[in-house]
Structure 1
Amino acid sequence: MRPRASIREYEVLRAVITSGSVTAAAHRLAISQPAVSRMLAQLEANVGVTLFERRGGRLRPTAEAIRLNGKLDRLFDALAYLDGTDPADPASQPLRLAAPPTLGHRFLANLMASFMKQNPGQMISLETCTSNGLVSRLVDDTIDLGFTLAELTHSAMELIPFHQTLAVCVMARDHPLARHEVITPETLHGQDHIALMRRHMVRTRLDQVFARAGVRPKTVAEVATGVSAITLARAGVGVAVICPFPLLRQHDPDLVIRPFVPEFVYRASFAVSTVRPLSKPVRAFMRHVQLAVRTTPSAVLTSGSAA
């Protein structure tokens, strides 16, 4: 008969799964890294299965580890009650979000407010950062859930799309191109163009569309956000090809919106860790976002439309 695993060993298992590394788990439990490694090895010997694999320099929990961790929920909930805390209390599980400024200010802030009204006492923090910054924050376990419009790839992160939209071209109402029902790369050749900064992945994708068409718009301004691009376009500085989500949802009498062809797809995605399970508040907020996207009408973009 194998020796019975200790609660401390199970604690170490949960800490490594949730933090993603032995170093972070040791810091969280206030013990040494060798102690964490030793207890993990002892737990594997006690339960008779491999709990972690090292890939790409990081520990990845096996399916057996995830299943075992799930079975431990009731044990640690009971221990929490004995310690005087309620694990079902939203305040005991703060929700840490991060997103680029446009998604954070124009989309998430309102959803945070409605979610908190439905879940009184739920603590939420929202950090704005670049899409690339989401990766390091997820790896370092400083956020629980990220949001992005970029097509990011990283072994420690998974993107889960929740909304898809097509690029549009925006311009002032009196702009000469407003007479076109559809804007193509050829239409934009030599036109004053408001572009995103080159650090944005979508800027690279759009430049490739122009290159394949053999055209070259005249870049008169580079901006960091779609909000800035719309402001300059409205003022008559030039035209901008942007993602309409979540910016263009209301009628704007000074702005004309036209479909951009060929179709240029933007996907809004959740960014989640591949080494840590999703907490109950994270899953609940993701459902809240998905429901809001399905039930909130976006700007209707048809040929000849303005918004």
Structure 2
Amino acid sequence: MKFRQVEAFRNVMLCGTTSAAAAEMNVSQPAISRLISDLEYSLDFSLFDRRKGRLKPTLEAIEFFRAVEESFLGFDKLECLAEQIRTKQPKQLKISCTPSLAASLLPLVLLEHRKYHPDERVIIYTDNIAPLITKLQANSIDIAIGLEFPDLIGINSEHIGCARFVFAAHKDHPLAKKDIITPEDLIGETVLSVISDKQPNYWNKISDSLESVGTSLKRTIDIDAAHTGYAMIAAGMAVGVIEPFSARVWGGRDVVTRRFEPHVSYTYDLAYPTGTRHHPSLESFAESVKKVASEMSEFQTSNFTEPALPKM
């Protein structure tokens, strides 16, 4: 068993696919597949079931992954501590946030936080899920905000709310005249897809909701970020079932949102590295996140029932 093989396995588990793991390690997809095969040979048990081109971790893989994470976290934390000692960094708050929340929730949170910590230096990383998780597990950030985090070693999380995804289209699109959009309305339309490498398997609710009409949709544009999707929608190139937060930015750019049925919603979380010392600034920031989230129309925080839609 070699370190590179274990690293490849870890990245496949975190990223969800071999192609995403290959991008993370800057190698080819066949190289990742070969490393995984060599590791399975060395371990003498299978790590993944291969079905229709997708990888599903075996029970043995999940158990092995826990031990792998414990080993990696030890090295990552040592590297982070060494960097802090070497540079003698001043007090600062390091935040990682997914792109849609970084452009909607986060500015409002920082306005609130600055009332109590006006001189604190804040460092913001805008990340998709894989690098965000890596930063949390490496203890290189103080806090992260994003879609619900998987149950992984090295991460503690708490819910801040649930958001209902919306149908979005150019204001002149025929479907913009309807109040409620269903999958049948999308037959024959160019509907945005999320690049499969960029979404973990547990984020498949949108695909599941469109399964009944999937073969009747035009899937010619794949995206890896909501803002890119909204830009395509604003240009009249596609429609989409998409997160509602970026509509705050794109609502004034010829984009409208409508209720989509069946109900598709996702939970959003705050997350911390395990063992984080919750100093006053961090606690204040976390409270600001919860306060702002409770006031945003996109969120329903009290009981995770159907949230209000943002008004456009």
TM-score category (smaller protein): 0.5 to 0.7
TM-fit CA distance, 1:250: 8.2
Matched letter for residue 183 of structure 1: I
Q: Secondary structure at the match of 1:219?
A: coil
- In structure 1, runs of 5+ residues without a counterpart are 1-19, 31-90
Structure 1 residues 164 and 249, CA gap change in structure 2 (3 angstroms): farther
Q: Give the aligned partner of residue 226 of structure 1.
A: 226
Q: Give the aligned partner of residue 148 of structure 1.
A: 146
Q: Secondary structure at the match of 1:218?
A: coil
CA distance in 2, matches of 1:26, 1:256: 46
CA distance in 2, matches of 1:248, 1:228: 14
TM-fit CA distance, 1:29: 8.1
Q: Give the aligned partner of residue 188 of structure 2.
A: 190
| 1:207 maps onto 2:173 in alignment | no
| 1:272 maps onto 2:268 in alignment | no
CA distance in 1, matches of 2:186, 2:79: 56
Q: Give the aligned partner of residue 158 of structure 2.
A: 160
TM-fit CA distance, 1:295: 3.1
Structure 1 residues 181 and 109, CA gap change in structure 2 (3 angstroms): closer
- Structure 1 residues 285-294 or 268-277, which shifts more? 268-277
Contact 1:95 1:123 survives alignment (8 Å): yes
1:256-300 Cα deviation digits (max 9, x unpaired): 211111111122211222333433222110101111222345599
Contact 2:145 2:268 survives alignment (8 Å): yes
Matched letter for residue 276 of structure 2: R
1:91-144 Cα deviation digits (max 9, x unpaired): 964211111222223331342244224312222111112112122111111001
The TM-score, its normalising length taken from structure 2, stands at: 0.62
Matched letter for residue 98 of structure 2: P
Q: Secondary structure at the match of 1:125?
A: strand
The TM-score, its normalising length taken from structure 1, stands at: 0.63
Matched pairs, number: 226
TM-fit CA distance, 1:187: 1.8
Matched letter for residue 252 of structure 2: D
Structure 2 matches for 1:13-162, cutoff 5 A? 21=74, 24=77, 28=81, 93-162=91-160
1:217-265 Cα deviation digits (max 9, x unpaired): 2113122222221222122112111110253378537222111111111
Q: Give the aligned partner of residue 239 of structure 1.
A: 239
Larger Rg: 1
TM-fit CA distance, 1:24: 4.0
Q: Give the aligned partner of residue 254 of structure 1.
A: 254
- Structure 1 residues 137-146 or 184-193, which shifts more? 184-193
